[in-house]
Amino acid sequence: MVSERIASYLNFSGKELSEKRDRLLERLSCCELCPRRCCVDRRAAKGFCRTGRLAYVSSYNLHFGEEPPISGPRGSGTIFFTGCSLGCLYCQNYPISHLYNGKEVSAERLAEMMTELQKKGAHNINLVTPTHVAPQFVEALLLALDEGFSLPVVYNSSGYENPEIIALLEGIVDVYMPDAKYGNSRLAGELSAAPDYPEWNEKVLKEMYRQVGNLELDENGVARRGLLVRHLVLPGEISNSREVLRFLKESISPDVFLSLMSQYHPAYKSGERKGLSRRLLPGEYIKVLEYCAELGLENGFRQTELV
């Protein structure tokens, strides 16, 4: 039986959700889950993300370090998926995304992780880097619903998405938490091997916002629905941040919730590019904060370590 959350709040039937699962799984035969559109048959091989038919999971646990509406007092039920559709030189989760530390899990095991986290008191299920395993998640979700799963779903991604796939997730995802990494194609190509990132990011953020709108909180300040965009300020790239912020105001909403992050630190292959081998300077972050205020982007979260 489909849980009350899916049946009433999202107005789904079990048949409709099964159809979404089947349509997503079909995409694995010529994979186009992300904008790279490798067209690899992932039922038998692996594409750029280095993932085949089954998802790989690095870890799953209660996480208290996300933005306050995501972690809440009881923690966010994070599931860290191995692999990624981007190739970021400075990735701070590189053991998971690039070195591929994790274990292959069946749909049944993934469903168990979700129900275990619910029993531990998680406010939500937080899918970390789910772009390349969206079909596997929906497959597991159907199984978890039969076991009483009822938590909101947070889609915590790089923002490098195929909007057609995100459209299929309408009614399944409650909170979208994508990155908006780049407003500059050249920089996106140099740092993440994805020069088309800004183009796809703009399309997909518009689709996410269309589905869920601005972030909505419950009586305890915990997110129940909406869009929360993350942007990491990079050293020496203030102009990139300005392009991203301007896009968010003009193309998404001046009321969009934004998490403006300052915690950049050199990691992985950041030493291969001049400028990335140092931390962000306080003055750089302050300039981005000032531009954010100038644009009137007031909703969301700012970090104070550098201010």
DSSP of 237-257, one letter per residue? Answer: -HHHHHHHHHHIIIII-TT-E
Report how far Cα 137 is from the mean position of its chain's Cα atoms: 13
Q: What is the structure's pLDDT at 8?
A: 44
Burial (Cβ within 10 Å: 0-12, 13-18, ≥19) of residue 304? exposed
What pLDDT is attached to residue 141? Answer: 97
| Mean pLDDT confidence for 83-92 | 96
Q: pLDDT: is 256 or 6 the higher one?
A: 256
Identify each DSSP E strand in the chain by its residue range: 55-63, 76-81, 103-105, 125-128, 153-157, 175-178, 216-217, 223-232, 257-261, 300-302
d(CA 191, CA 298): 29
Q: What is the mean pLDDT of residues 158-185?
A: 98
CA 260, CA 257: separation in Å to the nearest integer? Answer: 10
- Per-residue pLDDT tens digits for 233-277: 999 999 999 999 999 999 999 999 999 999 999 999 999 998 999
Q: Residue 270: its pLDDT value, please?
A: 94
Cβ count near 26 (within 10 Å): 10
pLDDT (tens digit per residue) in 94-137: 999 999 999 999 999 999 999 999 999 999 999 999 999 999 99
4-302 maps to CATH 1.20.20.10: no
Mean pLDDT of the chain: 94
Where residue 118 falls (left for φ over 0; alpha for ψ -120 to 50; beta otherwise) is: alpha
| Residue-level pLDDT at 305 | 66
Q: Cα(90)–Cα(81) distance, rounded to whole angstroms? A: 18
175-206 pLDDT, tens digit per residue, is 999 999 999 999 999 999 999 999 999 999 99
Bridge partner list, 59: 80
Q: What is the pLDDT of residue 3?
A: 47
Tell me, what's the pLDDT at 307?
55
Predicted local distance difference test score (pLDDT) of residue 205: 98
For residue 231, CA distances in Å to 3, 129, 172, 210 come to 34, 15, 24, 20
How many angstroms separate the CA atoms of 280 and 237, rounded? 10
Instruction: Determine the distance from the C-alpha atom of residue 81 to the mean position of all C-alpha atoms in its chain, rounded to a whole number.
Output: 11
- Is 156 within 8 Å of 107 (Cβ atoms)? no
Does residue 263 contact residue 232 with C-beta atoms inside 8 Å? Answer: yes
The pLDDT confidence band at residue 304, using thresholds 50, 70 and 90, is confident
- Interatomic CA distance for residues 193 and 31, integer angstroms: 18
Confidence of residue 1 (pLDDT cuts 50, 70, 90): very low
Per cent of the chain over pLDDT 70 is 95
